[in-house]
Structure 1
Amino acid sequence: MRISTLLQASAVALTAVAAGVLTVPAHASTLPLAAPQVVAHLDLAQGRQPENLTVLPNGNTVVTFAFSRQVAEIDCHGAVRILATLPAPAADAATPVLKSPFLGGIVRDDNGVLYFAYATGTADLTGIWRLAPGGTPQRIAALPADALPNGLARDERTGFLYAADSVLGTVWRISAGGGTAVRWATGADLQPGGFLGANGIKIRDRAVWVSNLDNGTLLRIPIRPDGTAGPTQVAATGLSGIDDFAFTGRGNQVLAALNSSNQIALVADNGTHTIVLDHADGLQNPTSVAVRGDRVWVADAAYLTQQDPNLLTARLLRNN
């Protein structure tokens, strides 16, 4: 697969990939996670490799299939329903680094409208898109052709969308109503170190949190009262291959997807982390995590293992 080749060729990711994909020791879930199970085995031949996900009120999930350009709903029995397919760019288009069209982060608002990040290497399609219930995908904000928007977050307080750009080392801010995307935050902490930089992104307590895949870091960027970005703070290090992540609801505790090592890390408020899920639990290059109530969902893209892209769920025990 294209991303497998790219990751293995990356000087930053090569060591973790070569040592971690097939040699991860048996681990099995660790508190506060329990009873992990795969709820959907996805078809690799159809390009169903989930990059990002959001959870619906009924417990179903909506995922982006990175390289098939599709948004899909997966029900609790594992059935897949394609909601939309994004338009393909010109045949000679090349997305930065990945070379192929890439469908990244996805979020949902209270009205059921979905927003997602799409990169094609072309100015006419790259940007932030929306899909209203029963509608068709529409681009609401353009991003540069050389951008690679990856993670996407929505600030429920203001309605702004924030996109992590893995190639340009930028956090973009976009109005949910559309319009011009603003370079909200930049800097060395967001830049790639040979492959992909800023990756996952979430909003919590008036701050934008961003992971940097190449640096293995989790960053916190305060949202100032006037809406501008404060100074970037490093909240955690040593998270090799970190992709997207989710807050558990306990302080700033985070569950982070460590893609290349087939692990989910529990990151404490003080920045230390422990591994709570791994390959033995069914992980196949996890890309993103979602938390709703006492359930955790993990999207596994199998970019490197090329074995079993899936959707996994586990219980989140609140008293541990």
Structure 2
Amino acid sequence: MFRLPRLAATATIVAAAFTLLVPTAASAGEPSLSDPRTVAHFSHSAGETPENIALEPDGSANVTLAFARQVVRVDEHGSARLLSVLPEVSNPLTPVYRSAVVTGIVRAKDGTLYVNYATGTSGTGIWRIGPHGGTPVQIAQLPTDSLPNGLALDEKLGVFYVADSARGLVWRVPLKGGTATIWAAGAALQPLSEIARFPAGANGIKIHNGAVWVSNTDRQTLLRIPVRRDGVAGTIETRATGLVGIDDFAFTGQDDTVLAALVTANEVALVRPNGTHSIVLTAPEGLSSPTAVAVLEKQGDKEKTDGQDEPEKQEKRERTVYVTSAAYFAAVRDPNLLTARLEDGEEKGQD
């Protein structure tokens, strides 16, 4: 396994206080998680705090290590290879953190990786990394007082969407790089002023079913923002509430069911299209301040006989969930990458 370089300083994060809500019990027939296992561990003292994930087709995970300023690729056996290191900043003035941090990551179809880098300087913005790693190149700059967190890519439209946790808005940036413009803003995206020690508004972000979906950590909400035909943001809709410490999230399939990382609650929640949720992963299963979720689907053949003489082959869907834990708030400081099997309700208990 590649030995990641150690950093001298240990990042210190101050937790915000949240009111815990009782989630709805799991319903029969809905997606569930099984066989959770931790596939890779990182060093919290070295700043190796896993923040976000972008998956390769072979199941490898490209992971940003926020305070180490690194991007690594973890294979299915848990071996990590260093892909890139974002440039050091001598006097970072990053909102909230006061340290340079690499946050959201996405993968283009050609394998190119793009990451958000927050520094409180002109280096704040989107950076490009080649498919096999190497020296990162900044392609877009964001204001120095912004905190780019979640990152989403729409290759069809040729644009990025960036969730800004400090300013509480969504930026839109051309895929080729260049000028960032404010795409969506409003109270629903902003942090809560009363949580002054650790403000975090718009955080995770995904594109799904003709809309940009955004989590707001302080407000404990999951939001949907329709993308109009002219590309302009539609009216912000609140789709779920009471998600304590929601960070980044992922959709389980074609519908609007979501798996959300609850960073301060130390849980992963299954959020249903109607807005209710249940907890599907907890600390005893390996979570340590979960920050992001990703889902990889593979298609395979499954034999089905149905009483016939010759077995009939049908397509079997295999989905794997990846969860990063940064160990920011957990009692057990174990930054790691965890995987689990995602099953449809009717699949559970079947061979």
User: TM-score scaled to structure 2, two decimals?
Assistant: 0.83
- 2:61: which partner in 1? 61
Alpha-carbon distance change, 170 to 75 in structure 1, aligned in 2, over 3 angstroms: same
The counterpart of 1:280, out of the listed 265, 279, 284, is: 284
Query: Retained in 1: the 8 A contact 2:18–2:244?
Result: no
Higher helix share goes to which structure? 1
Query: Retained in 1: the 8 A contact 2:153–2:160?
Result: yes
- 1:240: which partner in 2? 244
Alpha-carbon distance change, 73 to 47 in structure 1, aligned in 2, over 3 angstroms: same
Larger RCO (CA within 8 A; separation ≥ 6): 1
* Paired AA for residue 143 in structure 2: P
Q: Offset of 1:174 from its aligned partner? A: 0.9
Query: Retained in 2: the 8 A contact 1:202–1:210?
Result: yes
**Structure 1 stretches of at least 4 aligned residues deviating more than 3 Å after TM superposition:** none
Q: Offset of 1:77 from its aligned partner? A: 1.4
The counterpart of 2:204, out of the listed 200, 203, 215, is: 200
* Paired AA for residue 171 in structure 1: V
SS at match of 1:189: helix
* Paired AA for residue 49 in structure 2: Q
The 2-side partners of 1:168 and 1:270 are apart by 29
Q: CA offsets per residue over residues 230-270 of structure 1, 9 Å max, x none?
A: 11000000001000000000410000000011100000000
Query: Retained in 1: the 8 A contact 2:85–2:135?
Result: no
SS at match of 1:304: coil
- 1:23: which partner in 2? none
Q: Offset of 1:41 from its aligned partner? A: 1.4
Greater shift, 112-121 or 39-48, is seen at: 39-48
Alpha-carbon distance change, 31 to 281 in structure 1, aligned in 2, over 3 angstroms: farther
Q: CA offsets per residue over residues 266-301 of structure 1, 9 Å max, x none?
A: 000000000000111110000000001110000011
Alpha-carbon distance change, 3 to 274 in structure 1, aligned in 2, over 3 angstroms: farther
The 1-side partners of 2:276 and 2:34 are apart by 21
Q: Offset of 1:155 from its aligned partner? A: 1.4
- 2:99: which partner in 1? 100
The 2-side partners of 1:228 and 1:3 are apart by 38
The 1-side partners of 2:239 and 2:158 are apart by 25
* Paired AA for residue 220 in structure 1: R
The 2-side partners of 1:46 and 1:243 are apart by 22
What do you get for the CA RMSD once the two structures are aligned? 1.7
- 2:169: which partner in 1? 170
The 1-side partners of 2:142 and 2:247 are apart by 21
The 1-side partners of 2:252 and 2:175 are apart by 25
* Paired AA for residue 107 in structure 2: R
- 2:329: which partner in 1? 304
- Given the alignment of the two structures, is residue 224 of structure 1 paired with residue 228 of structure 2, yes or no? yes
The 2-side partners of 1:185 and 1:200 are apart by 14
- 2:76: which partner in 1? 76
* Paired AA for residue 228 in structure 1: V
User: TM-score scaled to structure 1, two decimals?
Assistant: 0.91
Query: Retained in 2: the 8 A contact 1:104–1:149?
Result: yes
Q: Offset of 1:47 from its aligned partner? A: 1.8
* Paired AA for residue 164 in structure 1: A
Q: Offset of 1:3 from its aligned partner? A: 4.6
Q: CA offsets per residue over residues 61-119 of structure 1, 9 Å max, x none?
A: 000001111011111111111111101122x3321111111111000011000001000
Query: Retained in 1: the 8 A contact 2:70–2:83?
Result: yes
